[in-house]
Amino acid sequence: MNTRDIQQQSLKVLKDVHKFCDEKQIHYTLFGGTLLGAIRHQGFIPWDDDIDIAMPRPDYERFVNSYQSKKGYQLFARERQGNDVYLAYARVCDMAESYVRTETFPWSKFKTGVWIDIFPLDGMPADEELAKKHTHLANNIFKNTNRARGIMAALNARGKESVLCYKLKTIGWRLILPYYKQWDKLIATCKKYDFEKSSHYSNIAFGGYGIKEYGTKEVFKDGYILHHFEDSQFYIMAGYDMALRKKYGDYMTPPPPDKQIAQHGYDYFKIDEV
């Protein structure tokens, strides 16, 4: 699948999630590069190959515990599949029309298709120095979870060519067992500050941007508004400008051409190509 194929497939999943959230009155906002694309491009950033949305922790927990798709899309989260999912956030996958080869950096024991990411937004302390310490703690745990996923990839690549190789693989799996607790430790760390009682928020379940995703909940003061994205409308936080400036700076200026590349590195296939 090329980038546009992936975009169109993930857009189908987003439409289904949006309909479910609208019916159940679950709040979400386009997030990260998807939010940036909605504002700057009225759709996908041309070279982006995924969709990100985010939900306040209370809405996120309602969503992961109740989402059912009439289209057959499947939600993956530790709240649903336990230790069979190696993430502290959720993904909703198309399972019928696409397949993604994830052995290079596994995030689930299951075969999965094109997905969208759903991040929980958690409460944070108002004191920025304390928020930085909390973010640093979460990021360190996040790095441990990624180390575990890297070890899984290396073990999966070994195969079972010999008895010695098989024994090494078995020992390797035992060595990473303690890392399984790291995902739950990260979730517990994220939930330390209650979202409803906090004046600030962040996405620390995914440690990619650190303190840049920390901000005041004023971005939600005027609620959520529908905004054009591709051929549809989806919800964004009313204070999107404040959030985007904190994360990207001058977000309306595209990066130079050599930076206009997808970042995720998985191989995507249409089901009939597998």
For 212-267, the pLDDT digits (tens) are 999 999 999 999 999 999 999 999 999 999 999 999 999 999 988 888 887 677 99
Sign of CA pseudo-dihedral 231, 237, 239, 243: negative
Average pLDDT, the chain: 91
Which element (helix H / strand E) includes 235?
Answer: strand 232-237
263 Cβ contact list (under 8 Å, min separation 6): none
pLDDT, one tens digit per residue, over 31-83 is 999 999 999 999 999 999 999 999 999 999 999 999 999 999 999 999 999 98
Sign of CA pseudo-dihedral 248, 6, 235, 187: negative
Distance of CA 224 to the CA centre of its chain: 20
User: Which is more confidently placed, 93 or 166?
Assistant: 93
**Residue 273 clears pLDDT 70, i.e. is over it:** no
d(CA 152, CA 176): 8
Of the listed ranges 24-38, 155-169, 254-268, the least confidently predicted one is: 155-169
If you ran DSSP here, which 8-state letter would residue 85 be given? Answer: B
pTM: 0.92
d(CA 10, CA 92): 9
Q: What pLDDT is recorded for position 190?
A: 97
Structure-block tokens of residue 108: 């689930």
Which element (helix H / strand E) includes 65?
Answer: helix 57-66
- SS3 at position 233: strand
169 Cβ contact list (under 8 Å, min separation 6): 155, 158, 160
**Residue 98 clears pLDDT 80, i.e. is over it:** yes
Do 145 and 88 touch, CB atoms closer than 8 A? yes
- SS3 at position 193: strand
